[in-house]
């Protein structure tokens, strides 16, 4: 389907085939828009039924339809029914969407498959991003698959070991800058302005189109219905905006009547959007020195904050914050109770849910989906920091038997 780019602030439109990430009139963010009139919703629903759960299943609502898209098999992640956790915290319907099942272990792959095909369609030869880790792992993998060169800028010493290993193994040029993620994002934008390099951070609206497919999947996995509430970890706020767009499109097509309430969750030490909402401020005040053990969301100046505010307003949701202790506790519970091993940032959604169900904003009979954004294997250092160490034992039955008395 033909698409155009539209500024979220001044509504200026741009053709889809120019390389731009911001409105040239007012400098604000862009969004991909479609002519939904062209779609026959009934026929589309039937067609989708015949395809297996994957990002490209939804190609009619993606901004490009390559005949053989570059793909690593992203999407189609499990929506787990979490009955035990649910009753532990007094809820009736709790599901968790495990995005760690994606090819490189995070939700970024949904966006990256679309972004990399866009890069190819535009004739670009080099890709780039700034990253707290997962974007760099994902972009490096998809660039490798597509035969493109890739440069990633990461905050030196601040990304999880698993993610760094991925970016290196996939052959990206890894530049560890002496600064934080926000600094890296400023620099990578300058690089992409100056050189013919395609930027694939979440200010690239085409990438976000892939990420919206999570909403379509939840709808299908819940037997063509939607949950009352969706909790999403928030860093740059691209993902929550993309998922919301997916639900809005389902409504536009007449597939659903109501949309879920969207709740974003930031880590307390990196929570400028949550603070803004709490203090009822008009604009974002960046956190100059963001700090959290959930390094994936260690972001002080989220580029998509305006899109996120729109989501909060339209969905009657909110963005809250949780402490690192709450995040680690949530990570432990997901692993020990439901067998779901997620990285700290990935557990922020569940930590936020546990915090907010204490308030009277939510009723225990409502349905909840927590998006678990990244795989636990990404960040082994967190485990050595917060979990029990293995116990050294002698290689004999006496020593082993003694240990088995207390498991």
**Applying CB under 6 A, which residues contact ligand F0G?**
106, 131-135, 202, 233-239, 296-297, 343, 345-346, 373-374
Shortest distance in whole angstroms from residue 303 CB to ligand F0G: 9
Shortest distance in whole angstroms from residue 131 CB to ligand F0G: 3
Nearer to ligand F0G, 260 or 346 (CB): 346
Question: Rg of the chain's alpha carbons, rounded to an integer?
Answer: 21
What residue is closest to ligand F0G based on CB? 374
Measured CA to CA, the distance from residue 152 to residue 165 in angstroms comes to 13
Measured CA to CA, the distance from residue 265 to residue 269 in angstroms comes to 12
Give the start-end residues of each E strand in 35-171: 79-81, 93-98, 126-130, 149-155
Q: Residue 357, Cβ neighbours under 10 Å: how many?
A: 19
Spatial neighbors of 389 by CB under 8 A, at least 6 apart, are none
Shortest distance in whole angstroms from residue 73 CB to ligand F0G: 19
Nearer to ligand F0G, 98 or 132 (CB): 132
Nearer to ligand F0G, 205 or 235 (CB): 235
Shortest distance in whole angstroms from residue 202 CB to ligand F0G: 5
**3-state secondary structure (DSSP) of residue 392:** coil
Nearer to ligand F0G, 233 or 256 (CB): 233
Nearer to ligand F0G, 357 or 370 (CB): 370
Shortest distance in whole angstroms from residue 15 CB to ligand F0G: 26
Q: Which residues pair with 94 in a beta bridge?
A: 368
Nearer to ligand F0G, 256 or 294 (CB): 294
Q: Residue 307, Cβ neighbours under 10 Å: how many?
A: 25
Measured CA to CA, the distance from residue 146 to residue 223 in angstroms comes to 35
Shortest distance in whole angstroms from residue 31 CB to ligand F0G: 15
Please name which of 348, 368, 346, 347 lies closest in space to residue 357, comparing C-alpha atoms. 368
């Amino acid at each position: 389907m033909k698409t155009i780019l539209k500024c979220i602030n001044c509504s200026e439109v741009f053709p889809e085939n120019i390389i731009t990430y911001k409105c040239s009139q007012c400098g604000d963010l862009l969004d991909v828009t479609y002519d939904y009139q062209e779609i026959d919703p009934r026929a589309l629903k039937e067609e989708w039924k015949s395809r297996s759960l994957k990002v490209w299943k939804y190609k009619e609502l993606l901004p490009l339809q390559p005949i053989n898209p570059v793909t690593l098999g992203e999407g189609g992640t499990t929506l787990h029914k979490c009955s035990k956790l649910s009753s532990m915290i007094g809820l009736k319907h709790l599901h968790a969407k495990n995005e760690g099942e994606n090819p490189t272990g995070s939700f970024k792959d949904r966006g990256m498959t679309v972004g990399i095909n866009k890069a190819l369609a535009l004739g670009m030869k080099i890709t780039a991003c700034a990253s707290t880790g997962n974007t760099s792992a994902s972009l490096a993998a998809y660039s490798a698959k597509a035969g493109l060169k890739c440069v990633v800028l990461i905050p030196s010493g601040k990304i999880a070991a698993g993610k760094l290993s991925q970016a290196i193994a996939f052959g990206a040029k890894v530049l560890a800058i002496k600064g934080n993620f926000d600094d890296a994002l400023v620099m990578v934008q300058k690089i992409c302005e100056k050189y013919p390099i395609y930027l694939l951070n979440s200010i690239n609206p085409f990438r976000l189109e892939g990420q919206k497919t999570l909403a379509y999947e939840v709808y299908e996995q819940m037997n063509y219905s939607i949950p009352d509430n969706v909790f999403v970890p928030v860093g740059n706020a691209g993902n929550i905006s993309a998922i919301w767009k997916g639900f809005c499109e389902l409504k536009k097509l007449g597939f659903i009547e109501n949309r879920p309430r969207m709740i974003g969750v930031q880590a307390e030490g990196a929570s400028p959007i949550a603070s803004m909402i709490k203090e009822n401020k008009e604009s974002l005040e960046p956190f100059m020195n963001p700090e959290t053990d959930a390094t994936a969301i260690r972001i002080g100046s989220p580029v998509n904050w305006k899109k996120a505010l729109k989501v909060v307003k339209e969905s009657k949701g909110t963005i809250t914050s949780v402490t690192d202790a709450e995040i680690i506790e949530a990570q432990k519970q997901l692993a020990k109770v439901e067998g779901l091993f997620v990285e700290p940032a990935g557990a922020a959604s569940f930590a936020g849910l546990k915090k907010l169900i204490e308030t009277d904003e939510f009723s225990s009979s409502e349905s909840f989906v927590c998006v678990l954004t990244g795989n636990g294997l990404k960040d082994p250092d967190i485990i050595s920091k917060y979990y029990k160490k293995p116990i050294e034992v002698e290689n004999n039955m006496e020593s082993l038997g003694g240990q088995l008395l207390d498991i």
